[in-house]
Structure 1
Amino acid sequence: MIKAAKLVAPVLLLASGSAIAQDALAPHVHGEARLQVVLDEQELVINLNSPAYNLLGFEHAPQSAEEHALVSKLDNRMREPAFWIELPAAARCSLSRVTLGQHVEQWGHGEPHDHQQGLADHDHADAPSAHSEHRDLAYEYRFLCAYPEQFEQARVKLFEHFPALTSLHAEVIGASQSLQELNAGNPMLRMP
């Protein structure tokens, strides 16, 4: 049984690299984000995907100096995973790589699209051109954990920093799999 799990986990790790691209195609709902956590032996991979609105307050390409500064500040903060997730110190996980990405969907005013508006109302009246866009932000973190057996839970601090984010759909893969719904009242991610 353990051998089968060890064979499945590397396949899941390989698939997790494309998960960001697949999640970008998932329904775009303001207030919600997606998280994938895969722990395979000593390797920990965390993927976070969120509409830009949740983290920045806007989705269009930055236009003003203030918006450029917000994007730069967010990029700098998100490069340090400790800003938004508290991993167990006993597991001694060290960061080996961070990847930032985004997916942009555009359409002209009046054209149909299957965007699910979620919690925030907006009519794209502030768009600078005939096109509007929905921007999703994606983050991937890879760690090497010296004591992975000590990784029992992690505290997600996104809700403290980003009040527009109200729920996080988490898929967690370790010795087994679980789906978890996190929010400000329940920010603890648990390894199955």
Structure 2
Amino acid sequence: MKSKYLVTAVLASTLFNTTYAKEGHQQHDAHEHGHAQLNIAQEGSTVTMQFISPAMNIVGFEHHPKTEEQEAQVKQAIKQLENGSALFGFPKKAGCKLASAKVETELMEAHGDHDDDHHEKDHHEEKKHHDKAEKHHEEEHHDEHEEESHSEFEVEYSFNCSQPKQFHQLQVRLFETFKGIEEIRTQYISDKGQQGFELTPKVSVFNLP
């Protein structure tokens, strides 16, 4: 991620990956359908979060949008993910408000790249339309690449809390919005230490140390 404000969450992410690596989870194995990661770091009155999920959990596919409907699904998912106030429930006394949210996904980027590739391919076909065998090979390679793609949604949130000491509990509502999520591996870190959680649709609230 490119945001400057998530220095502490990057630290949390590092600790998260280290913790699960010891349990047999490797960082590159984190892309598992149904599973997601949530790293939370608290520094004073600021709470930063890093949410990472396979695109399959969010929109039901991981290739670039092929239709207008799929493109609309991705745009709708981005809007939902940006609404951090609806996805996370803080204690009212903590006075935590969403300061910023940034969503990144290869799906939209890949869609733009695909359009460029498509135009280049059309140009290529106009010049070498007689070479059908080469065209067929390129299309097969493209389809295989799509099938092997592992796109994700990665979101950064920043919350400002007027009474940070009252931030002792968090309700995660991601399960309600995105039915494809079955489990969220969560890591919380602050000056008090760190703690890991396994959240599910039935257990979506956790108490902080």
Q: Aligning the two structures, in what range does the TM-score lie when normalised by the shorter sequence?
A: 0.7 to 0.9
Instruction: Tell me which of 25, 28, 32 is aligned to 1:26.
Output: 28
Question: How far is the alpha carbon of 1:15 from its aligned partner?
Answer: 4.8
Cα separation, 2, equivalents of 1:130 and 1:77? 30
Give the match's secondary structure for 1:163. coil
Aligned to 2:143: 129
Residue of structure 2 in register with 1:61 after alignment: 64
Q: Which has the higher helix share?
A: 2
C-alpha contact (below 8 Å) 2:186/2:197 kept by paired residues: yes
Deviation at 1:59, TM superposition (A): 0.6
Match of 1:150 among 160, 166, 172: 166
Cα distance in 1 for residues equivalent to 2:68 and 2:198 = 36
Q: Is the partner of 2:143 in helix, strand or coil?
A: coil
Q: Is the 8 A contact 2:85 2:98 kept in 1?
A: no
Q: Does 1:99 align with 2:92?
A: no
Moved more, 45-54 or 72-81: 72-81
Matches of 1:84 and 1:26 in 2, distance apart? 26
- Structure with more strand by fraction: 1
C-alpha spacing 1:55/1:159, structure 2 compared with 1 (3 Å): same
Unpaired runs of 5+ residues, structure 2, are 1-5, 18-26, 111-140
Q: Which runs of 5+ in 1 are unaligned?
A: 1-12, 107-126
Q: What TM-score results when the alignment is normalised by the length of structure 1?
A: 0.74
- Of the structure 1 ranges 51-60 and 81-90, higher mean CA displacement relative to structure 2 is found in 81-90
Residue of structure 2 equivalent to 1:139? 155
Matched, 1:161 2:177: yes
RMSD: 2.4
Q: How does 1:33-48 map to 2 (within 5 A)?
A: 33-48=36-51
| Identity level (%) | 27
Paired positions, count: 157
Contact 1:170–1:179 under 8 Å retained in 2: yes
* In 1, Cα distance between equivalents of 2:8 and 2:164: 21
Matched-pair contact (CA < 8 Å) for 2:8–2:41: no
Alignment-derived partner of residue 182 in structure 1: 199
Query: Residues 49-87 of structure 1: CA distance to partner in whole angstroms, max 9, x if unpaired?
Result: 000000111011111111011111111111111232112
Relative to structure 1, the CA distance from residue 180 to residue 151 in structure 2 (aligned partners, 3 Å threshold; closer, same or farther) is same
